[in-house]
Amino acid sequence: MVLNARTLLAYNAAPVHCAGMTTMPHDALFKSVFADVENARGELQTMLPQALVQRLDWSTLRVEPGSFVDEVLKERHSDILYSVRFRDDPKKLAFLYLLFEHQSAPDHWMPFRLLRYDVRIWEVFLKNEPDAKHLPIIVPVVLHHGKDGWTASKRLLDLFDIEEPLRSVVVPYLPDFGFVLDDLASKSDEELRGRTMTAFARLALWFLRDAREGTLLDHWKAWASVLIELLAHPTGLKALEILLRYFSYVAAAPAPETLRNKLLKELGPKVEEVFVTYVEIWEAKGEAKGRAEGVLMICRARGLTADDAIRESVLACRDLPTLERWLVRAATATSIDEVFAADLS
């Protein structure tokens, strides 16, 4: 596991969640882990058909720049595009497109959205390779962490309302494809722990699946061996800090002493450094929560009505200067729009 500059920046710059600073903590953890090809390789090799895995030269796996997600869906989807070469034909390129579904409910239109994203990827490819005679294959992989599992279709053809006998007539003229699905809700702890992936990637999948439910500490001991494996790496402490930071943002994180006792019992004194950082995270979260509630209380007292969307954005905000700015505005504003100005646009 290599925690490079891109990996660290992805989380340290991202977990603020105020509108106007819209990166979600789920997105931040996803990018922190899977923007590193060493972590991504295990996920892709686990989920893709083995016949394809064996044909690809995984030493050539690289992250391609850019995002292909619709702007209005960036709080629901995150994506990373990888390119890789074939073993038997190094000039031949394939794209592996990893899309992360943030929300708990599956996206009914996912196959259609993936079609649009695939087209954008091909358009970029043709712009960069104007003399190309063939399109590279794109294999989409959707990572879903909703607690109720994936219940929507995985095929584009299912989105068309066509009945027989017309269906058999028009199907040859309609686009159709599916996607690989990694539905974390359907995976047991044993299956996630047993994957041939870096310790950081396996732990991240566990955190993505369970952190929101606040049950991580109940299963801490079962994951101790993977945590120890993580800490054996030079960047393991930083990786653990990233995971705990995510935990603190998406769940009612435990008091520092509770977590410290768990960490020391299972992992030993090496984690004291992470504990100090967690105290800072926990205290900052408490301060942010107090300021957010203060903003809403002043608005209510002055008759400024905040709808549910505004309330959720304010309570989710962790940026203290932004919250302070809203507090000052709330004391004198004549409308709710004046309080938040362009911050929640």
- Digits of tens for pLDDT over the chain (345 positions)? 444 434 433 444 344 445 433 346 888 899 999 999 999 999 999 999 999 999 999 999 999 999 999 887 877 889 999 999 999 999 999 999 999 988 778 999 999 999 999 999 999 999 999 999 999 999 999 999 988 899 999 999 999 999 888 998 999 999 999 999 999 999 999 999 999 999 999 999 999 999 888 778 788 888 988 988 998 888 888 898 898 888 877 777 677 777 777 777 777 777 777 777 777 777 777 777 888 888 999 999 999 988 877 887 788 787 778 888 898 999 899 999 889 876 665
pTM score:
0.78
Q: Which of 56, 195, 259, 74 is nearest to 139 (CA)?
A: 56
Query: Whole-angstrom Cα distance, residue 81 to residue 99?
Result: 9
Tokens of 120: 């954008």
Helix axis angle, 256-267 to 272-301, nearest 10°: 160
Contact 143, 31 (CB under 8 A): no
Query: Whole-angstrom Cα distance, residue 299 to residue 311?
Result: 11
Q: In the chain, where are the structural domains located?
A: 36-186, 200-345
Which pairing describes strands 137-144 and 180-183: parallel, antiparallel, or unpaired?
parallel
Cα 78 to the center of its chain, rounded Å: 6
Tally Cβ neighbours within 10 Å of residue 175.
11
